[in-house]
Amino acid sequence: MTNFKIKLLYALSVLALLTLGAFPRTQSISDSSTTPAFKEGENSIIFIGHSTALIHLNGTNILTDPNFNNWTVIVHRSREPGIQIEKLPKIGAILISHAHRDHLDRWTMEQLPKETPVLISEGNGDILRDWGFTDVREMNIWNKIAINGIKITAAPAKHSGSRNSAFADFPKALSYIIQGEKTVYFAGDTGLFDELKEIGNYSQIDVALLPIGAYRPRWFMKNHHMGPDDAIQAMTMFGAKEMIPIHWGSFRIAYDGIDEPKDVLIKLVDNGSLKERIHVLENGEKYLFR
């Protein structure tokens, strides 16, 4: 099959699956109207939904791929965010893995303080500057930056980083290694690839935030999105101590059902040694580092 035919088939498939996800009933979150409170010395992660997480390290709040919108393109949100956007605490840095609209949402970004440092891949910075952000840090793979004593390293990902293309090689998609009193790996969107082993060589990962959703049909998605089994393999490839699955449960943007990735993951680890190391959080739930 030619590259053009693959892209055409993908485009038609996307239109069909977006129609499937367009009008679900949104599940509410009972305590999303409360600003999170953190104890002194606490290091934690709150899963807000999709690929949005609030990482609290060394007293600093880091927000990943913020999306609090009720829509992404024509797909309606299936679960409310775990925190209402107006109840977010002060954010020390925002990490953007790539520019696809479910990860870089304009409405969401317009609600956030424009002086907040935002890390994004090289070539995508002007999107944020056009939206009024004044502290945009364009990152290339293995670039490092320090914010409030936390070292953040841009790492590779197997995914397109472009705003308008699922196939463009530039800008790149990124993942991030976040090092404070604990070390977190945020994968953003990625398929499984050999360079993930380098993450473990770079640093011991305490918790990996790994995507598990939008993984079917596998013949196409495996090159762009991890599935539950891929996330388990990735976790072992770079030796993460623990894992929190992301990129599931909020938007149906592929053929897998809204809760299918979570359910499959739970079944895969239910009777195995990884069960105590994988933490499936609902929107708004908090993980406390051990």
pLDDT digits (tens, 9 = 90+) for 122-153: 999 999 999 999 999 999 999 999 999 999 99
The domain of 59 spans 24-269+283-288
Residue 14 covered by a domain: no
For residue 7, pLDDT beyond 70 = no
Non-local (6+) Cβ contacts of 32 within 8 A are 80, 81, 82, 83, 84, 87, 283, 284
- What sign does the dihedral 62-261-108-142 (CA atoms) show? positive
Grade residue 10 by pLDDT with cuts at 50, 70 and 90. Answer: low
Please count the other Cβ atoms lying within 10 Å of the Cβ belonging to residue 91: 17
Tell me whether residue 3 is in a domain.
no
Lowest mean pLDDT among 24-33, 45-54, 61-70, 120-129: 24-33
> What is the percent of the chain with per-residue pLDDT over 70, rounded to a whole number?
88
**H or E stretch including 48?**
strand 44-49
Is 18 inside a domain boundary? no
Residue 276 lies in a domain: no
Instruction: Quote the pLDDT of residue 271.
Output: 82
**Structural domain includes residue 59:** yes
Q: Which of 159, 157, 156 is nearest to 221 (CA)?
A: 159
pTM across the whole model: 0.90
Q: With bands split at pLDDT 50, 70 and 90, how would you rate the model's confidence at 165?
A: confident
The predicted pLDDT at position 3 comes to: 60
Angle between helices 228-237 and 260-269 (to 10 degrees): 50
DSSP letter string over 10-26?
HHHHHHHHHHHTSSPPP
Instruction: Answer yes or no: is 8 within a domain.
Output: no
Q: How many structural domains is the chain composed of?
A: 1
Q: What is the pLDDT of residues 171-217, one digit of tens each?
A: 999 999 999 999 999 999 999 999 999 999 888 999 999 999 999 99
Question: Strand, helix or coil at 202?
Answer: helix
Report yes or no on 275 lying in a domain.
no
Of 89, 33, 99, 38, the C-alpha closest to 67 is 99
Q: What is the CATH number of the domain that holds 194?
A: 3.60.15.10
Whether 166 maps to a domain, the answer reads yes
> Which tokens in the block code for residue 38?
């953190």
